[in-house]
């Protein structure tokens, strides 16, 4: 923390999509340090007003804008030092019905953010991605995958700054739209929990860990690096059982509704191709950018040897939480506690 305080001292940060779950936790973290300013860029003035009143720190500034509109980024980025890009369309069903809208925000919006960073001499930008971008089966994941490739294309071309890094993570506990708040509301209202597939697995990660991953990428990443945090997983059945336990309900009161459009049995954080070149950093994987020439004429007569195949890193082959371990994680999670207090 002391090192971050030195690096971040008197610096100006922009968080796009800053009124979301990640933005709220990241802003609070930054404000524990000696930063000059934290700028929140988002479209929703109501959420901005709530965030302003809840955090109540004079170092926070709020900008109404949309990453789809490059001109609305100009004032927020002017004079800033670093950018955390969290703005995105994240809901799988919405993107399935409106794929072009997902592309406008997740792909074109990212291009706008990077171009605005270049124009304003931003030193470093960290972009937030998702496990759904790996071997995607839905539009949200596809658009996030193209977002990652868009960022890498700029990382190859930009010689000086900004440095462009990517983080990729799985299911974040109690983030908006995730299964935990949905189950908690169903349980508190006395309804059966609606399970898609009991054996479906998902990575389990807290918002604090999501912030830690972004900070790790910020501190350790070179342009084009992608970072993943090693995380345990649980089945949807486990999450449902532990949710019932959290609200004091006996038995496993749930019904199986079947897999929805665009859902996988398990999610992948590092693909088989990526893990061959990844660097094991202990709690994290780093996947360096493949910066070889894309002129394929260079490889007509001479290629590159591919290492022996390693397994991809996914929610089915990572460590599996027990119900008791999952209960401890959820019971001590600040966002889960808040949901339990607010839902009657």
Q: Which residues are catalytic?
A: 132
Q: How far is Cα 174 from Cα 238, in angstroms, rounded to an integer?
A: 16
- Token pair of 334, please? 């600040």
Q: Do the beta carbons of residue 183 and residue 193 sit within 8 Å?
A: yes
Asked if residue 137 lies in contact with residue 264, where contact means CB atoms within 8 angstroms, the answer is: yes
The DSSP-derived string for 179-218 is HHHHHHHHHHTTPPEEES-TT-EEE-B-HHHHHHHHHHHH
Distance in angstroms (rounded) separating the CA atoms of residues 278 and 281: 9
**Distance (Å, whole) CA 267 – CA 201:** 7
CA pair distance 236, 216, nearest whole angstrom: 29
Which residues have a Cβ under 8 Å from the Cβ of 341 and sit 6 or more positions away?
Answer: none
């Amino acid at each position: 923390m002391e090192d971050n305080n030195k690096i971040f001292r008197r610096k100006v940060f922009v968080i796009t999509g800053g009124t979301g779950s990640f933005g709220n936790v990241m802003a609070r973290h930054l404000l524990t340090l000696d930063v000059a300013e934290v700028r929140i860029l988002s479209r929703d003035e109501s959420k901005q007003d709530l965030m302003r009143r809840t955090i109540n720190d004079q170092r926070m500034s709020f900008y109404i804008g949309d990453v789809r509109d490059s001109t609305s980024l100009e004032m927020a980025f002017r004079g800033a030092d670093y950018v955390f890009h969290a703005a995105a369309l994240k809901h799988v069903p919405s993107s399935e019905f409106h794929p072009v809208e997902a592309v406008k925000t997740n792909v074109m919006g990212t291009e706008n953010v990077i171009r605005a960073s270049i124009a304003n001499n931003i030193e470093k930008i960290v972009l937030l991605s998702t496990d759904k971008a790996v071997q995607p089966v839905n539009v949200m994941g596809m658009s996030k995958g193209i977002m990652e490739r868009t960022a890498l294309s700029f990382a190859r071309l930009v010689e000086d700054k900004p440095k462009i890094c990517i983080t990729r993570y799985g299911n974040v506990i109690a983030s908006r739209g995730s299964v935990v708040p949905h189950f908690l509301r169903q349980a508190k209202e006395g309804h059966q929990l609606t399970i898609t597939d009991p054996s479906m697995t998902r990575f389990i990660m807290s918002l604090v860990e999501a912030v830690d991953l972004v900070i790790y990428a910020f501190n350790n990443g070179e342009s084009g690096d992608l970072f993943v945090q090693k995380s345990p997983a649980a089945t949807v059945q486990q999450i449902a059982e532990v949710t019932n336990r959290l609200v004091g309900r006996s038995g496993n009161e749930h019904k199986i509704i079947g897999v929805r459009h665009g859902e996988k049995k398990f999610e992948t954080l590092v693909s088989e191709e990526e893990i061959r070149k990844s660097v094991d950093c202990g709690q994290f994987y780093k996947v360096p950018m493949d910066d070889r020439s894309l002129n394929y004429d260079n490889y007509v007569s001479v290629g590159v040897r591919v290492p022996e195949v390693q397994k991809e890193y996914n929610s089915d082959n990572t460590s599996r939480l027990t119900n008791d371990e999952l209960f401890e994680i959820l019971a001590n999670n600040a966002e889960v506690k808040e949901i339990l207090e607010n839902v009657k």
